[in-house]
Amino acid sequence: MEGTGVIDRFLGVFTSYIDSGFGLLGGEVAFIASTLIVIDITLAALFWAWGADEDIIARLVKKTIFVGVFAYLISNWNGLAKIVFDSFAGLGLMASGTSFSVADLMRPGRVAQTGLDAGRPLLESISDIMGYWSFFENFIQIACLLFAWALVLLAFFILAVQLFVTLIEFKLTTLAGFVLIPFGLFSQSAFMAERVLGNVISSGIKILVLAVIIGIGSTLFG
């Protein structure tokens, strides 16, 4: 699978650069998050001091849980995103009943190779009826087989490219979420975190749909 494996190598390069962004941005994100947490707690303390008749203990517990959840999301964001990806991909593959694994889904070249393998029997059928005189006698049959071969090959290569783009999109959305998730601490800026969380789920749904289609295709032609 050396020819189609170039797609996997491209994906590996893009993925390694994107994953390195979590380490490069980790310090900046931690600074933003800690600053916002300090501001949030300070403002909350001031409002609690002015509202002495309110249940301060209950509000303190609520605020502590709220900040703790965000701190957990920030510190484990990349791992949680991987769980989301594996869950959606696994559900899609399970629904299709394929032998593909989640690891195979991370290799678009494997999908392209499945198309090549599926088209090989068609080429063999063409070679069986190919000859100097038989070419003219079986021209329509040969043309139909060639068209079917090209159609199968094109379908799987489009799936491979779509999978490549979707995987990169999911990785980039996850990286953007890592930067924007701390802004969810404030109601005024929470829309940025909500939007990127929605995009992560949306990318996960795309993975699920592609997993179902690829799984069905690999089962039919595998």
pLDDT of 117-164, one tens digit each?
Answer: 888 887 787 777 776 667 667 778 878 888 888 888 898 899 899 999
Spell out a b/e string for 96-117, using b for 16 or more CB atoms within 10 Å of the CB, else e: bebebebebbbbbbbbbbbbbe
80-96 mean pLDDT = 89
Report the pLDDT value the prediction gives residue 3, as an integer from 0 to 100.
63
Is it the case that residue 1 has pLDDT exceeding 60?
no
Report pLDDT digits (tens) over 31-64: 888 888 888 788 777 777 776 556 777 777 887 8
Q: Would you list the domain boundaries of the chain?
A: 5-221
The two structure tokens encoding residue 126: 């063409």
Residue pair 141/129 in contact by the 8 Å Cβ criterion: yes
Q: What is the mean pLDDT of residues 103-107?
A: 85
Quote the mean pLDDT of the chain. Answer: 83
Contact between residue 210 and residue 85 where contact means Cβ atoms under 8 Å apart? no
Rounded to the nearest 10 degrees, how much is the dihedral formed by the CA atoms of 63, 69, 70, 73?
A: 180
Query: Which residue's entry shows tokens 């050396």?
Result: 2
Model pLDDT, residue 87 = 92
pLDDT tens, position by position, 185-220: 877 788 888 888 888 889 889 999 999 988 888 777
Query: pTM for the full model?
Result: 0.81
